[in-house]
Structure 1
């Protein structure tokens, strides 16, 4: 079964923001679209909303008048379910209730052709369970768009237990033809995105919980060092803490209490207090002052945080200016060493090279200070175990050349003068330095490794491919790099080691390494491009 032809009729049920957006996508691809909503007049309002949005594109010169009029002409609001009988593909975007979706598809089975494909835009319900109530569950597939549907590229194509492969392939090819990045996934809790994304929030909340760094600092590091468009606390405030917390609880329950998905008590307390983020005026950040002002708009950058965290989390932690070192010694080598050497050369820092005792070691000796990238241990533990002195660990960066900020942490045994030398080194390289507490894995490294681990487990459990993980996270939630590609860049051996060290420190099953990651580490093979 190939992609639908443009003369095939697409029906969309539910004319709210998501349904109207899906209708716009299908119409733009050239299909005649029937838009239906059970509430009287809502389908027509949906078309009017689409028209309003397209008018803005015309005004900006991104669409011609003719294109806009042709697109709108292909969307027909209808008033009765019976008007959908001729549809070749029906996509529902109604309330996230199992009984409503099952009832809807049962009714459609009695109206539409036996060859009609039924697709659900559900983000949380099981396609298998929805299909269990149908006579033709093999014609049902998940087609999970992301909001706003006309803008976001990703579509998760979700196979239930009974879904015919040809049906899933047809929807995959159709979504691709519509200009989307489609990925195949089995119908498991959270599919790909809502499952793999959990550590992005969970690790930030854990760092906050143990006092590793404050809200503003964690957000700044994830933006300016890791390359994410928004920090986790900013994003939770934007999504709504109640919504984000509910998804975490749902995934946690669906996986029978697996510790990897354990919800945060900090987040629960804010939800219980009604601090839901931007929509309520405060969450991790406080937006009320600006909302009460003349503009009536919430600020681009939050000013401070909710009551409990107000003083401790309002400001980004910044190290004071320190003297740059005239020379450093690099012991060993690492893939990112050339980037740092180039930055040192530009900063006028002389570089000497020495061979390391262990092939995987890479240290930067800067006066008294010894700098090493975090391996998931406490810096204090590394000093005790390795016999080094004045150790300062630094965090992972998406690109050390482009990162504007870096997190470092000193071991308890490290002298103040050595810490100042480490600060001066990174400042000389043009980085804003945030000194955080000595926590295992710091901020970026632990988060990225946990994202990669969750992606690895999804692949290991046959939910999707490694390539699908990266496509989903980059095009569904705008990650700067796919988790599996990031794991390959760090090295699967290093990722497994970091997770093992996190597990050893916390003693929590949430940090257990995926069996597939362990296998990759044992063979030193990557996730992507490995045909062996």
Structure 2
């Protein structure tokens, strides 16, 4: 265990929401914390904000007053960089500007002791580029917390090209000692979470642009069938469309305009209109109206209902002579031509516990009467039914397949381990299952077939299958061959 001793002083630069949150985490772990901000009075205001946060915990019975006082006593506002010289760990949480960060780190390095670790909380900038301005770039490391830092469990520990392996170990172990889940990755655009999460937003926007379903239906299926905590449009509104769009643009540009990360003109229009989401009162949803329950995930087991149990397991059914199949990426019309029989496709179901809604699409040969009987049968088992347009992969399956594809691409390029990727997506963005594990549950050959179907239908290289995913599927198929 190489975690910093609680005797080590921690310095935080930037007393905004993120910097103050990190200061609170370090103080709660027992460190003396120096909180610095270049703006006059900001460090004290940051400490006052921490005091208010802790007072709320006391009022709710989650924290003893004596412990609150001990935490606050460990946090000292500092008005000049000279006051940070004794810190063993320095964490910057200032504006996302490369030159400003470089200038700050050079000033800190000039004052800090030779053993001091210089950590950046950047969410989008290259650790290698930040460290390049230092005399000793080996001690610069990414320590990326998620907002709000006291509540969110994940910390991405990011290695630049020159970062010392010993410092990576120390920061990862320190984050764990602070009660966080630390995942190690190398410095690539978006690190783990912001990179792999792009399809969650990007595919929702594409699905909407293609007219597959409306906003409320997409969000409802992602939460009430897919098991995600928030639908993509509700989440973009919560994050702020300006922030979400800027991150997408940053990752797109940093990856030399790779189409996988292409921003959406629809989202740009909202940003240009000032429809930023909750903070502006309007985004994809109008927040002057009563919030819709469609964005809330529901609970309640339906596992005792045989039709749903079969659908959740991905098994084919026949109802009134119509085959009910889980989508594999092919359209319902294409399957009818292939099979010579009408079909109804259903979207991916994570599991039947908590399932409240299912997405379906009927091939042209399914009569209105037959479709009505199928819908009535599903509703009799307690489900809301959303009928969507006949596009490859439908909604949940398409989105999850793209998340899995991106995860395997990150794994192929050694951004992080499979375990780190799944852990990061579960604790960084609260996905119900890590994308690699999810892909294995669905069946990686099915995931690959969905991606291939999307590519065949669009000829857009956004949907090119990851070589990492294809290689794993090829190995699985080879091992399945008779000896």
Question: TM-score with structure 1 length normalisation?
Answer: 0.85
Q: Deviations over 1:422-447 (max 9, x none)?
A: 21232232211111111111110010
Q: Deviations over 1:80-124 (max 9, x none)?
A: 110100000000001111111000110111101111000000001
The equivalent residue for 1:413 is: 365
The equivalent residue for 2:325 is: 372
- Report if aligned partners of 1:141, 1:159 keep a CA contact under 8 Å in 2: yes
Q: 1:436 aligns with which of 388, 402, 408?
A: 388
The equivalent residue for 2:480 is: none
Q: 1:496 aligns with which of 448, 451, 468?
A: 448
Q: What is the rounded CA distance, in whole Å, between the counterparts of 1:21 and 1:340 in structure 2?
A: 40
The equivalent residue for 2:121 is: 121
The equivalent residue for 1:148 is: 148
- Report if aligned partners of 2:302, 2:308 keep a CA contact under 8 Å in 1: no
- Unmatched segments (≥5 aa) in structure 2: 296-300, 478-483
Q: What is the rounded CA distance, in whole Å, between the counterparts of 1:412 and 1:265 in structure 2?
A: 32
Q: What is the rounded CA distance, in whole Å, between the counterparts of 1:266 and 1:386 in structure 2?
A: 37
The equivalent residue for 1:333 is: none
- Report if aligned partners of 2:32, 2:75 keep a CA contact under 8 Å in 1: yes
The equivalent residue for 1:356 is: none
- Unmatched segments (≥5 aa) in structure 1: 291-298, 303-314, 317-338, 352-359, 526-532
The answer to whether residue 292 in structure 2 is matched with residue 301 in structure 1 is: yes
Task: Output aligned runs, 1:23-62, within 5 Å.
Answer: 23-62=23-62
The equivalent residue for 1:135 is: 135
For the residue of structure 2 that corresponds to 1:38, the secondary structure is: coil
Kindly tell me the number of residue pairs found equivalent between the two proteins.
470
Change over 3 Å in CA distance of 1:278–1:345 after alignment to 2 = closer
Q: CA deviation at 1:344?
A: 2.4
Question: TM-score with structure 2 length normalisation?
Answer: 0.94
Q: CA deviation at 1:345?
A: 7.7
- Report if aligned partners of 2:308, 2:352 keep a CA contact under 8 Å in 1: no
Q: CA deviation at 1:300?
A: 4.2
For the residue of structure 2 that corresponds to 1:248, the secondary structure is: helix
Q: What is the rounded CA distance, in whole Å, between the counterparts of 2:308 and 2:161 in structure 1?
A: 58
Q: CA deviation at 1:342?
A: 4.1
Change over 3 Å in CA distance of 1:194–1:497 after alignment to 2 = same
Greater mean deviation of Cα atoms: 393-402 or 19-28: 393-402
Change over 3 Å in CA distance of 1:30–1:275 after alignment to 2 = same
When the two chains are superposed, the root-mean-square deviation of aligned CA atoms in Å is 2.0
The equivalent residue for 1:455 is: 407
Q: CA deviation at 1:523?
A: 2.2
For the residue of structure 2 that corresponds to 1:524, the secondary structure is: helix
Q: CA deviation at 1:421?
A: 2.5
The equivalent residue for 1:426 is: 378
Q: What is the rounded CA distance, in whole Å, between the counterparts of 1:385 and 1:167 in structure 2?
A: 57
The equivalent residue for 1:343 is: 305
For the residue of structure 1 that corresponds to 2:122, the secondary structure is: coil
Q: What is the rounded CA distance, in whole Å, between the counterparts of 2:376 and 2:58 in structure 1?
A: 52
The equivalent residue for 1:521 is: 473
Q: Deviations over 1:57-77 (max 9, x none)?
A: 111110101110011111111
- Report if aligned partners of 1:371, 1:422 keep a CA contact under 8 Å in 2: no
- Report if aligned partners of 2:410, 2:416 keep a CA contact under 8 Å in 1: yes
For the residue of structure 1 that corresponds to 2:47, the secondary structure is: helix
Q: What is the rounded CA distance, in whole Å, between the counterparts of 1:123 and 1:151 in structure 2?
A: 17
The equivalent residue for 1:294 is: none
Q: What is the rounded CA distance, in whole Å, between the counterparts of 2:433 and 2:442 in structure 1?
A: 12
- Report if aligned partners of 1:343, 1:401 keep a CA contact under 8 Å in 2: no
The equivalent residue for 2:164 is: 164
